[in-house]
Structure 1
Amino acid sequence: MKHQEFFLKKYHKQIFAQSWSPDRPKAVILLVHGFGEHSTRYADFVVPTLVENEYAIFTYDNIGHGKSTGKRGDCESYEQLMAILNDAYDEVRERFVDLPVFLYGHSLGGNLVINYTLRIEPGVKGTIASSPYLRLAFKPPKWKMSIGKLFYKIAPSITLSAGLEVNHLTRDKAEVKKYENDPLVHDNVSPMYSFPIMEAGEWAISNADHLKTPMFVAHGTGDKVTSHKASEEFANGSPKATIRLFDGGYHEMHNDFHKQDFMDALITWMNKQL
């Protein structure tokens, strides 16, 4: 397995990226991580599982995350996130010439790959969204939303604690401990990294019927972070979307007790697209 680390060539900020590849890949997956985390969290299980199945992986740390530059938990705009994803896709096409491409995003990353697929129509073989952040699984307090909207108007880059309950990520306590001890994980979030993403999630649900690319949506019914009902609503809005619900599964399905079943379902779906 060949591993490389580098920075995206085209983007004006330092966006850390890395890739893993088997000797003879049959396709490449552009993986987009979730909010507050980073791409290397997928290196222990997701990456080797996919590489063993002859898939190359290309991934990056989003702006304000991991080893990339930027204020932790802040971005310039939703358009900036789309631009970075687009540059990553261009780099994939350069590095893996003639290979079919899949997009795979988790949580925030799921929001991004769904919107990128709908808005850009990049010509990928398929898109995978796991626990996509289309809508929260809970309603934030009204006072918190009111203050957040005020800051969005007057100080959109101010960062506060996201208040994530880490025990809601996975039922596997060992994985929770790893998350808590990871120095690259953060809990900061700005209004600019919040409200435009919420709006993009609702836009995606409303425009699901415009989807032209095969899409696999996976969500755990026990997710307390993002709404599996929103994922169902999106998938039911398009004949191109397939949804798989994992009974009782928490937010990080690739780190939860059913992680092998999740990966098997993902790989089976990709193999069918090929």
Structure 2
Amino acid sequence: MAYPIHERAQEAFSEFVDDPFLQKHGVIRRQSHMRNRRGLDIYTQSWAPAGSSRRPCGLVCMIHGFMVHSGGPWELTAIAMVKQGFAVYALDLQGHGRSEGLRGYIPDIQWLLDDCIEFFNCSRAEAPGLPAFLYGESLGGALALLVSLRQPGVWKGVILSGPMCGIARSFMPPWPMELLLPLASIVVPTWKAVPTQSLVKASYKEPTFRKLIRTDPYLCRGLPRVASARELLKACDEVQRRSYEVCVPLLILHGDTDHVCDVKATEVVYERVQSHDKTLKILPGMWHQLIGEPPENVDCVFKLVFSWLRDRATGACNGNAKG
């Protein structure tokens, strides 16, 4: 199997992303912390092929979505990429997972970009000369695109999964909350007052996977905070406004039944980007979180991802991948 989600435990994530599971897949995990410019402790981790003879053929720097974190199911994606010969780096965004900050609170989207760039600069310095790629899901997709715009010429390519180029109408704040959001985010920025559907229920198609997600102790729960909603909309606006500047090789994967992030906005962004090497795959019947699909869909998605990565790692991956 291309993706280790098929071996997932049936009770809790903590029961399978453990040392025996990593050893079984030939993966070494390193956990660390970074003190950011605002004095907050940001949790970081990396995964690499076990054994000194298995030099990575490239780096993948991953950015997770809103309310989730770099562990749990996200770690399965990292393991799958390591098995393809890549070293993988990820951080928990401020207010998410094991990083400091009020849970689910994004005071300024630019601060998240600052943290990503600081950590990924250090990550790339550990393996100079290797091709480096960005991979982002949902909010992480928007952040990955904005990181690439801040660092032109640095990244070999960017992969976006269900990217937040726009928020689906069903997840937008209702009228008149949408109009009042700028004022409310100044007066009561941390207030959990933006009514939405259940993000987990709307994102993951497989009921068993939804059940597993809900056992995750690091998942942010409850309604989005007012300032966070404002910053998500600002990120969408910046992605759309600056999409004409994007020149990096780009792969976008988006389920056509995504009820969280707007597929039409993704299509508009794709048409605007100036990359000579760009691919958009609209996946019939798939939901927002592509790892929450049935196993055959997950394998199909990640075969596309792995093939795209390896083709752009300029031959460095030859002979490194494990099935």
Please classify the TM superposition score into its range, dividing by the shorter chain length: over 0.9
Query: 8 Å contact 1:164–1:187 — kept in the other structure?
Result: no
Q: Report whether the alignment pairs 1:228 with 2:263.
A: yes
Report deviation, 1:249: 0.6
Partner Cα distance (2:191, 2:254) in 1: 31
Map of 2:186 onto structure 1: 153
1:217 is displaced (CA, Å) by: 1.1
Say which one has the larger Rg.
Answer: 2
Is residue 85 of structure 1 aligned with residue 116 of structure 2? Answer: yes
Whether the 8 Å contact between 2:69 and 2:92 is mirrored in structure 1 is yes
* 1:47 and 2:78 are equivalent in the alignment: yes
- Aligned equivalents of 1:162, 1:187: Cα separation in 2: 13
Contact 1:254 1:260 in 2 (8 A): no
Corresponding position of 2:309: 270
The verdict on how the C-alpha distance between 1:180 and 1:10 changes in structure 2, with shifts beyond 3 A counting, is: closer
Q: Distance in 2 between matches of 1:159 and 1:151?
A: 11
- Structure 1 residue 175 displacement after superposition: 0.8
Q: Which runs of 5+ in 2 are unaligned?
A: 1-26, 314-323
C-alpha deviation, 1:96, in angstroms: 2.5
1:208-245 deviation per Cα after TM superposition (whole angstroms, max 9, x unaligned) = 22112111111000111101111111111124132111
- Per-residue Cα deviation, 1:142-164 (whole angstroms, up to 9, x for no partner): 12323433311322233346634
More deviation in 255-264 or 9-18?
Answer: 9-18
Change (3 A) 1:75 1:137: closer
The aligned counterpart of 1:177 is: 211
After superposing the two structures, state which structure 1 stretch, 233-242 or 189-198, moved more.
Answer: 189-198
How many pairs are equivalent? 274
Alignment partners' CA distance in 1, 2:156 and 2:312: 7
* Aligned counterpart, 1:194: 229
Counterpart residue type for residue 206 of structure 2: D
The letter of the residue matching 1:86 is I
Change (3 A) 1:121 1:158: farther
2:48 is matched with which residue?
21
Q: Give me the whole-angstrom Cα distance separating, in 1, the residues matched to 2:44 and 2:242.
A: 30
Between the aligned partners of 2:302 and 2:41, the Cα distance in structure 1 is: 31
Cα separation, 2, equivalents of 1:264 and 1:167: 26
What whole-Å deviation, never above 9, does each CA across 1:177-199 have from its counterpart, x for those lacking one?
01111111113532332223212
Asked whether the equivalents of residues 218 and 243 of structure 1 are also in contact (C-alpha less than 8 Å), the reply is yes
Alpha-carbon distance in structure 2 between the residues aligned to 1:164 and 1:50: 32
> How far 1:103 sits from its partner (Å)?
0.6
- Give the corresponding residue for 1:119: 150
Residue number in structure 1 paired with 2:34 = 8
173-182 or 118-127: bigger deviation: 118-127
Residues 133 and 157, structure 2, Cα contact 8 Å, conserved in 1: yes
Distance in 2, matches of 1:31 and 1:175, equals 21
Unaligned 5+ residue runs, structure 1?
none
Aligned-residue RMSD, C-alpha = 1.8
- Aligned twin of 2:88: 57
Q: Is the 8 A contact 2:107 2:231 kept in 1?
A: no
Instruction: Look up the match of 2:160.
Output: 129
Local SS of the residue matching 1:17: strand
Question: Counterpart of 2:289?
Answer: 252
Match of 2:320 in 1: none
Q: Which runs of 4+ in 1 moved over 6 A?
A: none
TM-score in terms of structure 2 length: 0.80
> Amino acid of the residue matched to residue 163 of structure 1?
T
Compared with structure 1, are the counterparts of its residues 152 and 9 closer, same or farther at alpha carbon in structure 2 (3 Å cutoff)?
A: closer
Work out the percentage of aligned pairs sharing the same amino acid: 23
Q: What does the per-residue CA deviation read over 1:232-272, in whole Å, with 9 as the maximum and x for residues that have no partner?
A: 11111124132111111111102212111111111111122
Whole-angstrom distance in 2 between the partners of 1:10 and 1:201: 24
**What amino acid sits opposite 1:260 in the alignment?**
D
Aligned to 2:105: 74
